[in-house]
């Protein structure tokens, strides 16, 4: 049984992973030595054999069943979100723009097609609508359309914007319900880095808009496209956000597409230490890096939950300015991924497009190097968009998987070191002992595309919003894995109550 576990290491901390289940644990030094002897098929001395057997018995679990991929285990039920790339027109011409948007671009979704897309998405159960471009605020009648949509209290609208046209729409924006309207505004660094990408005066304009929006009480997310020019400034960007009263930051991993060049790309090995430094700053400043929190929710979840690629084509799709349906917002305009025209009907394309069906049929097990990453079902296997744009294939080529792996191991190691060592030869922390999310249920969970991970309220990832996961204290929840719950006295009472969401009632 123990041969199923693989030993990894994070700055000297051993992390054992069972890839197929998936599961993980962190032992202390003495237990690690015993486990390494077992893996090397060395028999511990008689005095240590009982200890080794005790440790192995703690890891006993049902063997991982043969995984058929995600398609047989999931059902196409309701569309949860719909993206509208309204226009390629923009008031800026940014040096890294995925779609090479500018004031000169003309491609714009017809109002009739927009109205049709919204109505048909709602009929399919959609409650989250994303609007992007280009710049959504240059779209004629944009805020009035959003206001009409938000009359339904179940609807949430997310807008990806450069934020420079806020003053022009102040009166209309004031009438929108704050709890349903979420803004993700682009920031490319501090003044020098931001204006190098977006033009002179753009940083001052963003500052003015941030002040206006905060005064009006709108929750905001700052979105930072990480590139070679700003990767060394991530912690400083976090501090800047905190000074502006903004508590949520989203990091976008660079796409080599449009004006996004290979020269702007930063290797994951260089991003990871800067990301960790930014996370440490965020904790000091009361800011949330939603990329970190999203991955944390996958790592600290129920053992055996397989995160197998994103919800693209299952729960989410995108409509381009050409009136064509695409799998996701980052893939809009790629001819070979055009799923069908909106005029064919959103439901018909969603259910019957060969391209969307191919994506649904695709699973982590289809990756050529499937076995190479023992963390594959913990980090989700990578982003479909990044894989496709890097290689032309849907799975196995996300250049940022190394970053996800490194961050996952850092989160596990850091959590394990928070607890005092009370005896020798013990397992310090095991998957499931600390919980940060409540999965939808079942063996497979889907990740979310990297363009937006959280709603701009500073509290929940989109996945948590779907499941309405509760992260507040619950008196009924206890830790199922602690050998003796009473011995966990070193954990503050409120902390162990918060370690798992309400949707599980666990008994010691």
- pLDDT in single tens digits along all 508 residues of the chain: 677 899 999 999 999 999 999 999 999 999 999 999 888 877 776 668 888 888 888 887 777 789 999 999 999 999 999 999 999 999 788 888 888 888 899 899 999 999 999 999 999 999 999 999 999 999 999 999 999 999 999 999 999 999 999 999 999 999 999 999 999 999 999 999 989 999 999 999 999 999 999 999 998 999 999 999 999 999 999 999 999 999 999 999 998 888 888 999 999 999 999 999 999 999 999 999 999 999 999 999 999 999 999 999 999 999 999 999 999 999 999 999 999 999 999 999 999 999 999 999 999 999 988 889 999 999 999 999 999 999 999 999 999 999 999 999 999 999 999 987 777 889 999 999 988 765 555 689 999 888 888 887 645 677 666 655 333 333 333 343 433 333 333 333 433 433 433 333 222 2
Range of the domain at 153: 75-296+311-348
Residues 120 and 267 in one domain: yes
Residues 477 and 337 in one domain: no
Contact predicate 287/240, CB 8 Å: no
Residues 336 and 475 in one domain: no
Which residues sit opposite 103 in a β-bridge? Answer: none
Q: Does residue 38 belong to any structural domain of this protein?
A: no
Q: Does residue 260 belong to any structural domain of this protein?
A: yes
Q: Does residue 149 belong to any structural domain of this protein?
A: yes
Residues 476 and 331 in one domain: no
Q: Is the pTM of this model over 0.85?
A: yes
Q: Does residue 423 belong to any structural domain of this protein?
A: no
Tokens standing for 454? Answer: 């959280």
Number of domains in the chain: 2
Phi then psi dihedrals of residue 7, to 5 deg: -95, 125
Q: Does residue 125 belong to any structural domain of this protein?
A: yes
Residues 478 and 343 in one domain: no
Question: What are the Cα distances from residue 175, in Å, to 90, 128, 456?
Answer: 25, 19, 18
247: CATH = 3.20.20.70
Q: Does residue 399 belong to any structural domain of this protein?
A: no
Residues 123 and 255 in one domain: yes
Q: Does residue 285 belong to any structural domain of this protein?
A: yes
Residues 333 and 476 in one domain: no
Residues 113 and 244 in one domain: yes
Burial pattern 217-237, b for ≥16 Cβ within 10 A else e, equals: ebbbbbbbbbbebbbebbbbb
CA 128 from centroid of its chain's CA atoms: 16
Q: Does residue 487 belong to any structural domain of this protein?
A: yes
């Amino acid at each position: 049984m123990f041969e199923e576990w693989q030993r990894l290491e994070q700055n000297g901390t051993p992390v054992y992973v069972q890839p197929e289940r998936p599961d993980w644990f962190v032992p202390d030094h003495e237990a690690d030595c015993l486990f390494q002897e077992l893996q090397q098929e060395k028999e511990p001395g008689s005095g240590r054999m009982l200890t080794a057997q005790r440790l192995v018995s703690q890891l006993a679990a049902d063997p991982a069943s043969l995984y058929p991929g995600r398609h047989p285990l999931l059902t196409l039920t309701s569309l949860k979100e719909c993206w509208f790339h309204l226009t390629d027109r923009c008031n800026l011409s940014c040096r890294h723009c995925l779609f090479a948007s500018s004031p000169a671009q003309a491609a714009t979704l017809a109002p009739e097609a927009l109205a049709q897309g919204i109505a048909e998405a709602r009929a399919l159960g959609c409650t989250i609508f994303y609007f992007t471009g280009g710049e959504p605020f240059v779209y004629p009648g944009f805020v009035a359309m959003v206001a009409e949509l938000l009359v339904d209290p179940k609807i949430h609208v997310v807008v990806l914007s450069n934020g420079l046209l806020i003053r022009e729409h102040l009166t209309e924006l004031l009438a929108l319900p704050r709890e349903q309207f979420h803004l993700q505004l682009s920031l490319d660094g501090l003044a020098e880095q931001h204006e190098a990408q977006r033009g002179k005066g753009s940083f001052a304009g963003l500052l003015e808009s941030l002040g206006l929006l905060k005064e009006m009480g709108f929750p905001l997310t700052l979105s930072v496209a990480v590139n070679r020019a700003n990767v060394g400034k991530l912690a400083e960007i976090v501090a800047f956000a905190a000074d502006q009263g903004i508590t949520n930051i989203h990091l976008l991993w660079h796409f080599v597409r449009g004006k996004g060049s290979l020269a702007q790309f930063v290797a994951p090995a260089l991003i990871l230490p800067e990301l960790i430094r930014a996370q440490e700053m965020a904790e000091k400043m009361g800011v949330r890096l939603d990329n970190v929190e999203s991955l944390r929710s996958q790592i600290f979840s129920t053992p055996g939950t397989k995160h197998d690629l994103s919800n693209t084509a299952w729960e989410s799709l995108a409509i381009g300015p050409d009136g064509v349906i695409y799998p996701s917002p980052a893939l809009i305009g790629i001819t070979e991924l055009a799923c069908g025209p909106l005029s064919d009907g959103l439901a018909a394309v969603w259910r019957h497009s060969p391209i969307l069906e191919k994506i649904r049929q695709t699973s982590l097990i289809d990756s050529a190097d499937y076995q190479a990453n023992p963390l594959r079902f913990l980090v989700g296997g990578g982003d479909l968009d990044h894989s496709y744009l890097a290689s032309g294939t849907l799975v196995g080529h996300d250049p940022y998987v190394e970053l996800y792996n490194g961050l996952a191991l850092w989160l596990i190691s850091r959590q394990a070191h928070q607890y005092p060592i009370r005896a020798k030869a013990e397992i310090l922390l095991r998957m499931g002992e600390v919980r940060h999310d409540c999965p939808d249920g079942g063996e497979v969970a889907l990740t979310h595309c990297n363009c937006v991970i959280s709603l701009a309220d500073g509290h929940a990832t989109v996945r948590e919003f779907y499941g309405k996961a509760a992260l507040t204290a619950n008196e009924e929840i206890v830790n199922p894995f602690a050998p003796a719950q009473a011995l966990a006295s070193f954990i503050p009472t409120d902390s162990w109550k918060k370690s798992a969401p309400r949707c599980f009632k666990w008994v010691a």
